[in-house]
């Protein structure tokens, strides 16, 4: 097994929660999402930013969310709230700080310096939101900019706006950008999350987009409604058939190596080292999910 095949924390479902809504922050502890993003940006009105900052920081520092990974989304660089948000997040020490509108390594470096100056613990990672054409074209440079940066988060709504693209089933106008971001993340050895699905009533369309994201290679999906959590968890978790197949691949390969055989087949298909590594990754993810 390699580091790339070991999944310590699944991020199948990553749910945005409005930082200004005390009731929503309390409810978040009952929702079976793998991770929570306590939001100070899009879901918070300008006159509620300061109050949301206090509430989100207190919630993130409370330790009341159990196994869930907890992140705070700050307002974007260049806004009048950004610096105060970073300081408050650093003091709260969440698992991650989600930074909108990241499109260059310089932005990552500036955020990292600000967090360190404010005393952020080493465990507080940076999650960079990728929302512009420039971000797509420079995805690898952004992903590789810092060891503190561990996750890229797709901002597909803003990307579509920047592209003047239509929102259509299958997301054809966005596929190039999604692919470039995935390539950048994987080249740098970082995780990557798919963007949100806006129609919370359309669960069939949502599940299909989850399946598309998984086929592409995303680690999970960002969500805007608790009702999206369960189907997202199901789609991004290995199925019983996948788990069983992975076990058989590993067993067959290990038996062949022990017997000195150079060719291995499972279900009529040749198995190589790359298939064994993927099988280990699937089993590692399944074990991490089972711990939930």
Q: Domain containing 172 — which CATH number?
A: 3.20.20.60
Confidence at residue 4, expressed as pLDDT on a 0 to 100 scale: 64
DSSP label at residue 238: P
State the total domains in the chain.
Answer: 2
Q: How confident is the model at residue 262 (pLDDT cuts 50, 70, 90)?
A: confident
Q: Are 199 and 206 a contacting pair, CB within 8 Å?
A: yes
Q: Are residues 29 and 106 in the same domain?
A: yes
Q: Are 67 and 291 a contacting pair, CB within 8 Å?
A: yes
State mean pLDDT over 3-29: 91
Q: CB-based burial of residue 208 (10 Å sphere; 0-12 exposed, 13-18 middle, 19+ buried)?
A: middle
Q: What is the C-alpha radius of gyration for the chain, rounded to an integer number of angstroms?
A: 20
State mean pLDDT over 151-174: 97
Q: Are residues 17 and 133 in the same domain?
A: yes
Q: How confident is the model at residue 147 (pLDDT cuts 50, 70, 90)?
A: very high
pLDDT at 1 over 60: no
Q: Are residues 97 and 15 in the same domain?
A: yes
- The proportion of the chain whose per-residue pLDDT surpasses 90, expressed as a percent, equals 92
Confidence at residue 278, expressed as pLDDT on a 0 to 100 scale: 95
Confidence at residue 7, expressed as pLDDT on a 0 to 100 scale: 80
Q: What is the dihedral of CA 209, 149, 61, 46, to 10 degrees?
A: -70
Confidence at residue 8, expressed as pLDDT on a 0 to 100 scale: 83
Confidence at residue 263, expressed as pLDDT on a 0 to 100 scale: 79
Domain of 24 in residue numbering reads as: 3-236
Residue of 82, 118, 121 lying closest to 101 (CA atoms)? 82
Q: Are 129 and 100 a contacting pair, CB within 8 Å?
A: yes
d(CA 289, CA 287): 5
At which of 197, 221, 236 does a domain end?
Answer: 236
- As a 3-state breakdown, the chain gives helix, strand, coil percent values, each rounded to 5, of 50, 15, 35
Mean pLDDT of the chain: 96
Q: Are residues 96 and 212 in the same domain?
A: yes
Q: Are residues 187 and 274 in the same domain?
A: no
Q: Are residues 45 and 80 in the same domain?
A: yes
Give the H or E element holding residue 135: helix 133-137
First vs last C-alpha separation in the chain: 22
Tens of pLDDT, residue by residue over 165-207, are: 999 999 999 999 999 999 999 999 999 999 999 999 999 999 9
Q: Are residues 165 and 280 in the same domain?
A: no
Q: Are residues 160 and 111 in the same domain?
A: yes
Q: Are residues 228 and 261 in the same domain?
A: no
Residue of 171, 232, 177, 236 lying closest to 200 (CA atoms)? 232
pLDDT at 14 over 90: yes
At which of 236, 252, 282 does a domain end?
Answer: 236
- Relative to beta strand 191-194, strand 149-154 is parallel
Q: Are residues 251 and 218 in the same domain?
A: no
Tens of pLDDT, residue by residue over 25-55, are: 999 999 999 999 999 999 999 999 999 999 9
Q: Are residues 275 and 187 in the same domain?
A: no
Beta-carbon-side half-sphere exposure of residue 188 (alpha carbons within 13 Å): 25
Q: Are residues 231 and 244 in the same domain?
A: no
Confidence at residue 6, expressed as pLDDT on a 0 to 100 scale: 81
pLDDT at 212 over 60: yes
């Amino acid at each position: 097994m390699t580091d790339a095949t070991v999944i310590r924390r699944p991020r199948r479902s990553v749910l945005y929660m409005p930082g200004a809504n005390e009731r929503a922050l309390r409810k978040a502890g009952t929702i079976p999402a793998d991770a929570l993003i306590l939001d100070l940006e899009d879901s918070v009105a300008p006159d509620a930013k300061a109050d949301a900052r206090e509430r989100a920081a207190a919630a993130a520092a409370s330790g009341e969310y159990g196994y869930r990974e907890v992140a705070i989304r700050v307002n974007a660089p260049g806004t009048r709230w950004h610096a105060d948000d970073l300081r408050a997040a650093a003091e709260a020490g969440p698992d991650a700080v989600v930074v909108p509108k990241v499109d260059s390594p310089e932005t990552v470096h500036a955020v990292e310096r600000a967090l360190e100056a404010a005393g952020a613990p080493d465990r507080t990672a940076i999650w960079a939101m990728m929302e512009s054409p420039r971000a797509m074209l420079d995805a690898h440079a952004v992903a590789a900019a810092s060891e503190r940066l561990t996750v890229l988060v797709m901002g597909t709504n803003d990307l579509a706006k920047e592209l003047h693209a239509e929102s259509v089933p299958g997301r054809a106008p966005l596929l190039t950008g999604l692919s470039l971001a995935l390539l950048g993340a994987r080249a740098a050895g970082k995780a990557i999350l798919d963007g949100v699905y806006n129609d919370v009533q359309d669960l069939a369309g949502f599940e299909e987009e989850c399946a598309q994201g998984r086929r592409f290679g995303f680690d999970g999906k960002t969500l805007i409604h608790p009702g999206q959590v369960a189907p997202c968890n199901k789609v991004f978790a290995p199925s019983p058939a996948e788990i069983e197949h992975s076990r058989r691949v590993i067993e067959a390969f290990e038996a062949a190596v022990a017997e000195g055989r150079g060719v291995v087949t499972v279900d009529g298909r040749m198995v190589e080292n790359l298939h064994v590594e993927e099988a280990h990754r699937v089993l590692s993810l399944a074990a991490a999910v089972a711990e939930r």
